Structure 1
Amino acid sequence: MMSDLGFTFRRAKNGDVIVEHRAKTASTLRGDKARWFLQDMDGMDFESQQQEMARITGNYKRGNERQARNHPRNR
């Protein structure tokens, strides 16, 4: 099953890469970072691309969600 996290990316005319999450701009990569990103995307499958875009934008799970839910501050 494919894991679609809702990320897409597009290359602007000026060479920037715009990463979008559910049709809203999440991050803009410029210069060397944009070139590096495009090179990486060429060699990845769809799920890996989604994970990489989540990592770049900081929108990914950290593994402690279950613990945080039970914390007294969150009750």
Structure 2
Amino acid sequence: MAPISCVQCGTTSNPCRCKVVGPTLGFLAFVVTGVVEWPVGAVVYCFKHAKGRRIMAHPATVVYPCVSNAIPI
């Protein structure tokens, strides 16, 4: 299995203008929370559509950006 690596170029958070560690850890956190929250969101969506959509969108809108932006490398 090849190692997972995400690269974000053009950022101003460090002198190199590229980030590798932050986006990679952000992606891994996104996958872990997605595995838990997407099935829960799908069940909630059956009863409350807006709440289910918010739960399923949480990894992409909150978790990934927070983790990725917290690590400037």
Point out the structure with the larger helix share.
2
TM-score by length of 1: 0.24
TM-score by length of 2: 0.25
Q: Which has the higher contact order (CA 8 A, sep 6+)?
A: 2
Point out the structure with the larger strand share.
1
